[in-house]
Structure 1
Amino acid sequence: MEKTRQIHVGTVAIGGGAPIAIQSMSTFSPVDTEYAAAQINALHKAGADIVRVAVPDRKAAESLGALREKVDVPLVADIHFDYRLALTAMEQGIDALRINPGNIGSRDNVVKVVDMAREKQIPIRIGINAGSLPQHILDAYGGHPTAEGMVAGAMEHVKILEEENFHDIVISVKSTDVPMMVKANRLLHEQVNYPLHLGVTEAGTLYRGTIKSAIGIGSLLLDGIGDTIRVSLTDDPLKEVKAAREILSSVGMQQYGPVLVSCPTCGRTQVDLIHMAQEVEEKIQKFKKPIRVAVMGCAVNGPGEAREADFGIAGGKGSGLLFRKGKILRSVPEEELIPALMEEIEKFENQ
């Protein structure tokens, strides 16, 4: 991962070689303080490093202080059009702003926001979505959203902040079109050293949205691009956090507890492998150590192909094998395979 400029959102470092920060967004208004706080704390417990909240009006902005007192995770205020909401959010103790300097009013208003952000050491995330590019950008790039147009739009906003000598900036260029999002971030990465926030916007429901996000975010992370991510799903935001953690684990950057590997089943399988894998995946979530656990359908795909697994089981007819790092520990009756596996992992966890 190439090092970018480092900024801090509360206690969380972004860029400069810091671990990739996982973000999500509350579905509650700050006005509904108790509900919002409960959800944000749940997101933090699930693994979110930063949580964003929508601040559409003055009442929401004025509620941020009470919300800030009820949660430990850094909060980002998402604000459009009205610079006064940004000022109030900062006065209420918000940790970062998500604004576009070009749409919050006159240059004098931008200066007011930047001056307070500088004084309070509050970073600003500039967010560009392909679906909301201004008309002059669309006209300049063929009349429709393009990766080049997204970068141009982002750089217009960056220039405003730079002219005010403000550099605590994070940039995001998002699209629901995965190739466009990937191309835009690659182009932007060549032009700036600010941290980049990655995401496929309006990705969709759980299944499709997770796939699109994994391809887009994962491709860029493997290129060494990106410092913080959000998986945007039309679903419970807790599932966004889980998907983000899986993406980071899959690209080999950060592992959060055990990872399950399992074979796809075939004609050799003589156990209910799908149910077994689902049960093991559920049971290993309580463990903290970053181990690899294998659930395989037969001896062919057991200790051999899963030799890199820290612990694993391979099904058979009425019995199966319990193994560790490719070495068979013992044969176990089928109904005792999962309990035996959990026992071995428990012993390792408690060492």
Structure 2
Amino acid sequence: MGNIFGRLEGSEPSAGVVLTGSHCDAIPLAGMYDGTLGVIGAIEALAALQQAGFKPVRPIEVMMFTSEEPTRFALSCSGSRAMAGALTPAELEAKTDAGGLHFLQASGAGYAGAPPASVANQVGYGAASTGEMLEAVRVAPEAVAYFVELHIEQGPFLEREGTDIGVVTAIAAPAALEVHFTGDGGHAGGQLMPIRNDAGLAGAELALAVERHVLGTGSGDTVGTTGTFEVSPGAINSVPREARLAIDIRDTDGPRRDSVVEGVLASAADIAHRRKVRVASRIINQDPPATCHASIVEAVAASAKQLGLSTKHMVSRAYHDSLFMARVAPTGMIFIPCRNGWSHRPDEFSSPEDIANGVNVLALTLAHLSGGSWPKVEL
């Protein structure tokens, strides 16, 4: 799958590892801190522990997950999904990019265990061999004792409140929907208003319905975004014949989020009926939210306190590899502030001081979770 690992051996090599890491891929026009901090910062945390002479009992591993951002193959967190056993051969073999290249063809990029050229040039492995690959990637629950991810907040609260460290207690999960309206189109002058069935207007009405359903929950933890709205034929003098919307609905409460999904799909059907357009909709994914493990929450808070840093217990509203690792191991996250709460844009930024705070908290958290000993200091 392309996940990359590094290991700091412990005195009990067979014990479940303390795992930390994140991703280094990014969406178009993104910044350089989202994900990357959790990989490079984790390497630096282990270097700091080694320099301090710390000897872990449990091995500590750093990893870089492949393909966390859902861009090329519309498959978010493919590396962690595979590790958690949340990816099937059929799902993987169905994924193609905009050029028609299959995921399994692209996986011949040179990683250890990548398929040979003769296989990579074919369309997939076939169900049996794809299943064998996924089974080899899947991690046994007993193999990972704890998983911790260091990340920028991607929100404004830590910076706004002047707080050093976010102690994450839960991770929201998205449901991704695709809705496709089809009308009859026609000439912008020739098609009079009473006889039109404008697919673009149907899409616009649904985008507003998404906002209405989300706000209707009364919870600030529920968010919805119509991130893609494509209208065709896309000519100023043509009534829109098709509209395709990609909708993201997130919450830390799974049933509440799913009720919004049901409301949005019902609205799509109602709009199609009233505006006399055809509609096709599908749920692309609907992953459950995750709760961070109390032992890691406590370890992060205690490490920050030991360093004299202020903390805020908070939820992660963004999607992370931690969401899937929580299925196989006790999981937690550490947040640091980012300027203006901005992320997924080129001016994304976290200060060196905030990064240092996060790395230090991560290092102490890993030390706490792995057990072990510090060198004795003679006064």
The answer, yes or no, to whether TM exceeds 0.5 is no
Q: In proportion to residue count, which structure has more helix?
A: 1
Relative contact order higher in (CA < 8 Å, ≥ 6 apart)? 2
TM-score, with normalisation over the residues of structure 2? 0.27
Looking at secondary structure, tell me which structure has more strand per residue. Answer: 2
